[in-house]
Amino acid sequence: MVINGVEIENTFAEAFDMKATRIIITAINFKWARHAAVTMTGFATSVIGCGVEAGIERMMHSDETPDGRPGVAVLLFATSGKVLTKQLETRVGQCVLTCPTTAVFAGTEGEERIPLGKHVRYFGDGYQVSKIIGGKRFWRVPVMDGEFLCEETTGKTQAVGGGNFLVLARTVSQALLASEAAIDAIYHLPHCIMPFPGGGVRSGSKVGSKYKGLFASTNDSYCPTLKGLKGSRLTPDVGSAMEIVIDGLTAADVKHAMRTGIHAVCSLGTAEGIVGITATNFGGKLGAHHFHLWEIMGDSAGT
């Protein structure tokens, strides 16, 4: 398959079942809401080393939030409900409670609930009070700028993590340009995040290592400095590869994000040094979700 001169490899991205939640952080203005959101989604690129994958889904205007203030929607993904619950509570307590003027609300519904402010409220040292509005319990915790308002619980849902595609380009600058085009396009989509720094990944990984105890190591098949070695997947004209990793609330969300990102890359074409698009997988043995590139791109092919 070729789109605007860019070859799409006949392969698939392998993704995994995850647990996810969505919260809404509000504040007196976007500046402080974003400060809290950025801080709580720090060190949250991969469940391999961070426990949780998290990111900003989108900014929310005052007519979209529960308390009528500017807000930020945040998504968190983990491999188990237990880990998700612990990470959410820790990050809210350390990064949102501490941020001036913020409040936090459930961003998703559902029968499965996990604590949001249920335990953070104890920071109030007995002075916290609750109120039920519309069948939902909210906690008011006294703090030095007034009070911290937090909803007691938020919803937990099934999700998909690890959707991906790789951009193959002639130079690092061209790979970055294409990756940024994909990231900018995906950023505006709902229900998904790109958890790595800025949305791009230069250190794509494979399962296992020659070193005992290391669960993942560099994806040497796509390292340009190792093109001369057996097993390299790079052609001589590829000087750089970049990966875009996507987590979504549903498989459809991940598929839509992949399609959108790949289209953005291909729109640059070979004139901008883009050689091809591929994806990483583990032979289909680890992840329950297989996103086949040719199927995702459908009727987009052309010469």
CATH number, domain containing residue 48 = 3.30.70.520
Contact by Cβ (8 Å): 279, 166:
yes
Asked if 103 and 229 sit in the same domain, the reply is no
Dihedral angle of Cα 170, 171, 177, 182, to the nearest 10 degrees: 50
Q: Evaluate if residue 49 carries a pLDDT over 70.
A: yes
- Same domain, yes or no, for 171 and 275? yes
Task: Specify the pairing of strand 200-201 against strand 240-248.
Answer: antiparallel
Q: How many CB atoms lie within 10 A of CB 118?
A: 18
Q: Are residues 203 and 171 in the same domain?
A: yes
Q: Quick: pLDDT tens for 273-289.
A: 999 999 999 888 889 99
Which residues span the domain enclosing 29? 19-157
Q: What is the mean pLDDT of residues 70-80?
A: 98
Tens of pLDDT, residue by residue over 204-228, are: 999 889 998 888 899 999 999 999 8
Task: Name the domain boundary from 132, 157, 182.
Answer: 157
Contact 287, 161 (CB under 8 A): no
208 and 276 Cβ atoms separated by less than 8 Å: no
Task: Provide the domain count of the chain.
Answer: 2
Residues 152 and 65 in one domain: yes
DSSP state of 32: H
Q: In one letter, which amino acid is 175? A: A
Task: Note the pLDDT of residue 228.
Answer: 86
The last residue of one of the domains, among 131, 157, 183, is: 157
